[in-house]
Chain A
Amino acid sequence: MQTKRLGVAFAALSLLALSACGGGDGSSTASGQGFKVPNIPAQKALGAGEGEVNIVNWAGYAEDGSNDKSVDWVHPFEKQTGCKVNSKVAGTSDEMVALMKTGEYDAVSASGDASLRLIAGGQVAPVNTALVPNYADVFAGLKNKPWNSIKGVAYGIPHGRGANLLMWRSDKVATAPDSWSAVFDQGSAYKGHVTAYDSPIYIADAALYLMSAKPDLGIKDPYALDQKQFDAAVALLKQQKANVGEYWSDYTKEVQAFKSGDSVIGTTWQVIANLVAAEKTKVGTVLPKEGATGWSDTWMVAAKAEHPNCAYKWLDWIVSPKVNAQVAEWFGEAPANSKACAETSDKSFCTTFHAADEAYFSKVHFWTTPIAQCLDGRTDAKCVDYAQWTRAWTEIKG
């Protein structure tokens, strides 16, 4: 009896607490991209630093020398600005979105499949680029893109970009592939040893391949799929599953799988290929002729940042030529700052990673969150949104 009553009391309490957490900003405008953008003003001027800054970032984006003594751009920042950096590493874009929702962080290094969700959710504010002097040197090809701006208003500072490449074991794969068909239509040659990225966003890789393999489907953008196109991509992935040995999301797992030979062909990041090669395993990588999916990261500032001045100082620091070069080399991606190429320790670095090669990146379709309104501008079709991508991914893995 007592237990029952206590339970009811607790239920009532929890309901109360939960409903109190709801609510949000009242005013908003349409983005022109099919979702409402809350009206949040950008910061007008910079004040004095608040003494600390809390950031959410990808692994390797805020190194303080704890992984490698020579890799440290956090301490110099703290020394120069007096802002202590508290870094929280997130493993996936979805984790980043969830972390930013807590309201405890000031800045985030969001990929394109997180940035729009953060903007729509009102978690981030537009960025006043005039307060970030180094923004001027960022490659023009990275500015005012659909994933980091709304109607010409910048919501963040580009950090760097890279492509999801095709990697293979040179000793196990006879002829070097130049097409994604190696992991899709011809994957059966490596039955049980094909690997793929374990995230719903990988559906875009299949869609990208279908763009050229089945042109009659009419896919223009791998993130804007109507039901028919989406079903075709899902069917292709289900067919691929028979040849997949394992799906990877943890990059150390992929390094080990390629080293041991459990995986011999599949998608990769450049940094993984470098690590595998460092383990004395012969691998080749290529940007296949169909192009590739990729990521372009953006540093964004929280709408309710407690330490906005330190956050702006961090944004300017991370894209300053020297630091941007350090980050890019450590992570293995193309830097965003055009002057960073002169600062890399490996002088051919920017060439290897195609930093200034817009022709190369024109073949890269950067991760973007699929939404119901087609991102490729079609108005006569309804596209499949990310929720369904997620459910479909569970179904593909079966």
Chain B
Amino acid sequence: MSGLAPTTLPGRPASLRRRAAALLHRRPLVRLGLLLSAPMLWLVVAYLGALFAMLLTAFWSTDTFTGEVDRTFTWQNFQDLWTGEVYRTIALRSVAVAAGVTVLCLAIAFPMAFYMAKVARPRWRPYLLIAVLTPLWAAYLVKVYAWRVILADDGLLNWALGPLGARGPGYGLTATVLVLTYLWLPYMILPIYTGLERLPDSLLDASGDLGAGTLRTLRRVVAPMVFPSIAAGSLFTFSLSLGDYITVKIVGGRGQLIGNVVYDNIGAANDLPFAAAVATVPVVVMLVYIAAVRRTGALEEL
């Protein structure tokens, strides 16, 4: 080991590049700082900055007539949010819809992913994967409007159910949950599929050999091992559903979710501060959700 950097040798004029390299070599903190500065800047300015600006705006108020934002500190927005019964109802409804979508997605995605990863022949797997991904190729609005036509009074669903004497749900919250489930299903299937693929087949065989039935194997072997994947998938479906306001606008009938309240307050009422205050609700809900997932240890295993 020479121990000495070339710049310290006497009589040898070092180029700027060399000197910089030496500096970086001697000071690991500077090295780390430079390496991380670009992503850090992105994180702080674009991401946290936007969140911070939103939070700041939430403490302002709007002159409702001229629409000018009054930049004096006030708790009024949060007070209105907290005391208004309607906002609690809407927040709870949004969480319920997001939870419903997540549960439905899980119920459909798990068997599908299991079939893809463990039952189907390996050479079919890429094709099945492509089949799961195809809906993502179509535009979001096209898919939702297609569902609007399907769910219409004279639509496909009522036509198909007609002979059975049944009727579709029509526009409303049920329709919203249904369409959101359809939209976000791939985001649940993919992580579970990856999780199951990593699960060695031999474990399933061993469980069977030791006398565990199918259900017990699922519960004691498969479920714990793919739990992190399920948690990851549920983070996607839950957060995507919680923020959605277009689907409910198109197939939700007279229903409204938290996203609509935010949208209406920006678009219709021009009340940016109140919209910002409302927008903190899903942020808080998601933080709680992520904290809960983290407690189960699922995040560490990802």
Q: A residues near B, CB below 8 A? A: 2-3, 6-7, 10-11, 14-15, 18-19, 22, 24, 35, 91-92, 94-95, 97-98, 101, 117, 120-122, 192, 199-200, 241, 244-247, 253, 256-257, 260-262, 369, 371, 385-387, 390-391, 393-395, 397-398
Closest to A97 in B: B67
Q: If A121-B67, A262-B170 touch, does A397 touch B269 (CB 8 Å cutoff)?
A: no
Q: Is B40's CB under 8 angstroms from A246's CB?
A: no
Q: Is A2's CB under 8 angstroms from B67's CB?
A: no
27 A-B pairs within 8 Å (CB atoms) are namely: A7-B52, A10-B44, A10-B52, A14-B53, A14-B56, A15-B56, A22-B71, A35-B65, A97-B67, A97-B270, A192-B170, A244-B253, A244-B254, A246-B254, A247-B254, A256-B149, A369-B65, A390-B265, A390-B269, A391-B80, A394-B86, A394-B87, A394-B261, A394-B264, A395-B84, A398-B86, A398-B89
Instruction: Note all chain B residues with C-beta closer than 8 A to A2.
Output: 33, 40
Instruction: Note all chain B residues with C-beta closer than 8 A to A391.
Output: 80, 84
A91 to B268, CA, bound (A): 9
The stretch among B116-124, B150-158, B215-223 that forms the contact with chain A is B150-158
Closest Cβ of chain A to B302, distance in Å, is 23
Instruction: Note all chain A residues with C-beta closer than 8 A to B148.
Output: 256
Q: Is B71's CB under 8 angstroms from A199's CB?
A: no
Contact code string B61-72 (vs A, CB < 8 Å = 1, else 0): 010111110010
Instruction: Note all chain A residues with C-beta closer than 8 A to B48.
Output: 7
Q: Is B67's CB under 8 angstroms from A117's CB?
A: yes
A15 to B52, CA, bound (A): 11
Instruction: Note all chain A residues with C-beta closer than 8 A to B253.
Output: 244-246
With most chain A CB atoms within 10 A of its CB, the pick from B53, B155, B254 is B254
Closest to B36 in A: A2
Closest to A261 in B: B153
Closest Cβ of chain A to B43, distance in Å, is 8
Instruction: Note all chain B residues with C-beta closer than 8 A to A97.
Output: 67, 270
A244 to B172, CA, bound (A): 11
Q: Which of A121, A246, A257 has a CB less than 8 Å from the CB of B68?
A: A121
Closest to B29 in A: A2
Instruction: Note all chain A residues with C-beta closer than 8 A to B256.
Output: 394, 397-398
Closest Cβ of chain B to A100, distance in Å, is 9
Instruction: Note all chain B residues with C-beta closer than 8 A to A22.
Output: 71
Answer yes or no: B45 CB below 8 A from chain A CBs: yes
Instruction: Note all chain A residues with C-beta closer than 8 A to B252.
Output: 246
A98 to B148, CA, bound (A): 31
Q: Is B86's CB under 8 angstroms from A390's CB?
A: no
With most chain B CB atoms within 10 A of its CB, the pick from A19, A200, A397 is A397
Q: B residues near A, CB below 8 A? A: 33, 40-41, 44-45, 48-49, 52-53, 56, 62, 64-68, 71, 80, 84, 86-87, 89-90, 148-149, 152-155, 170-171, 250, 252-254, 256, 261, 264-265, 267-271
Q: Is A386's CB under 8 angstroms from B64's CB?
A: yes
Closest to B265 in A: A390
Closest Cβ of chain B to A396, distance in Å, is 9
Closest Cβ of chain A to B269, distance in Å, is 4
Closest to A118 in B: B66
Main secondary structure of the interface of A (DSSP, over half): helix
Instruction: Note all chain A residues with C-beta closer than 8 A to B250.
Output: 253
Q: Is B67's CB under 8 angstroms from A98's CB?
A: yes
Instruction: Note all chain A residues with C-beta closer than 8 A to B254.
Output: 241, 244-247, 397
Q: If A246-B253, A397-B254 touch, does A95 touch B267 (CB 8 Å cutoff)?
A: yes
Q: Is B171's CB under 8 angstroms from A117's CB?
A: no
Known pairs A386-B64, A394-B261 / 20 extra A-B pairs, C-beta < 8 Å:
A7-B48, A10-B52, A15-B56, A18-B71, A24-B68, A97-B270, A121-B66, A121-B67, A121-B68, A245-B254, A253-B250, A260-B152, A262-B170, A262-B171, A369-B65, A386-B65, A387-B271, A394-B86, A398-B90, A398-B256
A19 to B70, CA, bound (A): 10
Q: Is A199's CB under 8 angstroms from B268's CB?
A: yes
Q: If A7-B48, A120-B66, A387-B64 touch, does A245 touch B84 (CB 8 Å cutoff)?
A: no
Closest to A24 in B: B68
Q: Is A101's CB under 8 angstroms from B171's CB?
A: no
A385 to B87, CA, bound (A): 20
Q: Which of A7, A11, A395 has a CB less than 8 Å from the CB of B86?
A: A395
A25 to B33, CA, bound (A): 47
Instruction: Note all chain B residues with C-beta closer than 8 A to A15.
Output: 56
Q: Which of B40, B49, B171, B269 has a CB less than 8 Å from the CB of A94?
A: B269
Q: If A253-B250, A256-B148 touch, does A98 touch B270 (CB 8 Å cutoff)?
A: yes
Closest Cβ of chain B to A58, distance in Å, is 15
Instruction: Note all chain A residues with C-beta closer than 8 A to B68.
Output: 24, 121
Instruction: Note all chain A residues with C-beta closer than 8 A to B84.
Output: 391, 395
A349 to B145, CA, bound (A): 34
Q: Is A390's CB under 8 angstroms from B65's CB?
A: no
Q: Is B71's CB under 8 angstroms from A19's CB?
A: yes
Instruction: Note all chain B residues with C-beta closer than 8 A to A117.
Output: 65-67
Q: Is B268's CB under 8 angstroms from A94's CB?
A: yes
A262 to B172, CA, bound (A): 12
Instruction: Note all chain B residues with C-beta closer than 8 A to A121.
Output: 66-68
Instruction: Note all chain B residues with C-beta closer than 8 A to A98.
Output: 67, 270
Q: Is A260's CB under 8 angstroms from B155's CB?
A: yes
Interface pairs A-B: 8 shortest CB-CB: A387-B64, A260-B152, A121-B66, A390-B269, A261-B153, A395-B86, A246-B253, A262-B153
Closest Cβ of chain A to B146, distance in Å, is 12
Instruction: Note all chain A residues with C-beta closer than 8 A to B33.
Output: 2
A397 to B65, CA, bound (A): 23
Instruction: Note all chain B residues with C-beta closer than 8 A to A387.
Output: 62, 64, 269, 271
Closest Cβ of chain A to B220, distance in Å, is 43
